[in-house]
Amino acid sequence: MKRILITGSSGLIGSEVCSYFDSKGWDVHGIDNNQRAVFFGPSGDTRFNQERLVTELKSFHHHEIDIRNREGVAALIGELRPDAIVHAAAQPSHDRAAAIPFDDFDTNATGTLNLLEAARQHCPESPFAHMSTNKVYGDAPNLIELSEQETRWDYADARYADGIPETFTIDQSKHSLFGASKLAGDVMVQEYGRYFGMPTTCLRGGCLTGPNHAGVELHGFLSYLVRCNLENREYTIFGYKGKQVRDNIHSLDVARFVESFIAAPRIAEVYNIGGGKPNSCSILEAFGLVEEFSGVPMKYTYSGKNREGDHICYYSDLSKMREHYPEWDISVSLPETIRQIVESWQHRLT
C-alpha cells in the first residue's frame, strides 16, 4: 500500500486530500495541531475535520505535530518514508500576519524548510506538492489595466484575458508579510527541486474553497460570507466597491490535480491553481449566488479602506496545468461549490 503524508490535514485542502487518497486505497498520514484555532480563535477550530477523518476514513493516522518542530518532523518522515508529501499547513491570512510576524514566518517559511530537508534526507524521490498562494505576486496584478463593469472589475489588457500566468512577476510589489513568508517557502520548494533534483511543485492557489472550510473574516472568503448570510450577520466589504474579483476552485479539484502531479511528477514546477475566469466572481456577485441557495437576504456594510496588498482582480490562467496534465480540468462549477458550502453551514449551525 502506498503511503502519503499530508500537513494541515484538518484544514480545507488537507482534509480533502486525505479523503481523496484514502478513497484511492493509500495509507494516509496527517499532520495537524489545530494551529488555525490559535491564529483565529474558536471560529477557526478544525477539530471537527480531524474527528471526521478519524471516524470516516479507512486508513487515516493523525499526528499531533507542529511543523515548526524540526526534530519531530524529521523523526516522523524518517519513520514513514512516505511515497508522496502534500504540504498544506500554513498561517493563511495576510491580515493576521502583521500581528504575528514571527509565528507567520516560522510556520510558512521555516516549517516548509523543515519538511523539505526531512524529505531530502529520507525520501528524496517522493513527489512533494506545496500549497503556495497567489499572494506571491504581491499587489503587482493591480498594475494591470482594468475595466470597471456593473458588478466587477476585469482585465482590460488582452494579454491577461485568460488570467494571470506563472511567468507573472513576483518582484517589486507589496506582498503583505504573509505573502512574503509564503514566497520564501515557495522559492525554497523550487530550489530543492532544481538544486537537489527532487520532484517538487508549488501550487499557487487562488481562492481554495469547499464545504469543509472553517471560514473566518481574515481567511476563507466564500465560507465566511455564507456563514454571515445564514447567521443574519453583516458582512464587511473592504474597498474596491465590492467589485474585487477572485477565482474559486473546489478543494476536490485541488486534490485531483495533486493526484495527477504525483502520478507524473516534474522537477521544480509552478502552477497557478484556481477556478479560472469561469469560476470567478466579485463579492457583489457572490452575494447573489449565496442568496439563491440560502434564500436569506445578504446584509453587508461597506468600508472604503481596502486591505493592504489586496488584489483588485485576480483569476488564474489554467493553460499550463491543462497542457502538462490534459486529463485534469475543473469539475465543480462555482454555483455547485456555493450550494455545497451553504448546505454544509446549514448542517453545522443546526
DSSP conformation class of 24: T
The pLDDT value given to residue 102: 98
Specify whether the CB–CB gap between 243 and 287 falls below 8 A: no
* Predicted pLDDT of residue 219: 72
Which is it for the CA torsion 176, 174, 185, 16, positive or negative?
A: positive
In the prediction, which pLDDT does 44 show? 83
Cell numbers for 335, please give them: 454555483
Helix axis angle, 12-23 to 251-263, nearest 10°: 60
CA dist 229 and 298 (Å) reads: 5
Q: Is 134 left (phi over 0), alpha (psi -120 to 50) or beta?
A: alpha
Higher pLDDT, 96 or 273: 273
What value does the mean pLDDT take over residues 224-238? 96
Residue 208's domain is classified under what CATH number? 3.40.50.720
- Average pLDDT rounded to a whole number, residues 184-204: 98
Residue 323: the pLDDT is 98
What does each C-alpha distance from 309 to 68, 98, 178, 225 come to in angstroms? 26, 12, 10, 21
Query: Residue 276 carries which side chain, given as an amino acid letter?
Result: G
- Give, to the nearest 10 degrees, the angle between helix 221-230 and helix 334-348: 50
pLDDT tens-digit readout, 39-98: 888 888 889 899 999 999 999 999 999 999 999 999 999 999 999 999 999 998 878 999
Q: How many CB atoms lie within 10 A of CB 71?
A: 9
pLDDT on residue 218: 66
Confidence of residue 122 (pLDDT cuts 50, 70, 90): very high
CB contact set of 177 (below 8 Å; sequence gap of 6+): 94, 97, 98, 101, 104, 105
Q: What is the mean pLDDT of the chain?
A: 96
Count CA within 13 A, CB hemisphere, residue 41.
5
Q: Give 159-169 pLDDT, tens digit per residue.
A: 999 999 999 99
Q: What pLDDT, on the 0 to 100 scale, is given for residue 222?
A: 93
253, 331 contact by CB (below 8 A): yes
| Least trusted range by pLDDT, from 91-105, 173-187, 334-348 | 91-105
Render pLDDT for 288-328 as a digit per residue (tens, 0 to 9): 999 999 999 999 999 988 888 789 999 999 999 999 999 99
Q: What is the pLDDT of residue 94?
A: 79
**Cα–Cα distance for residue pair 112/115, rounded to 1 Å:** 5
Q: Which pLDDT band, with edges at 50, 70 and 90, does 237 fall under?
A: very high
pLDDT of 309 reads 79
Q: List the single range of 164-168, 191-195, 219-223, 319-323 with lowest mean pLDDT.
A: 219-223
Percent of the chain scoring above 70 in pLDDT? 100
The answer to which of 79-83, 124-128, 210-214, 294-298 has the lowest mean pLDDT is 210-214
Domain of 101?
A: 3-348
Whether 220 has a pLDDT exceeding 80, the answer reads: no
What's the CA gap between 145 and 169, in Å, rounded?
A: 16
| Structural domains in the chain (count) | 1
296 class by beta-carbon count within 10 Å (0-12 exposed, 13-18 middle, 19+ buried): middle
| Weakest mean pLDDT among 10-19, 91-100, 119-128, 310-319 | 91-100
Model pLDDT, residue 267: 98
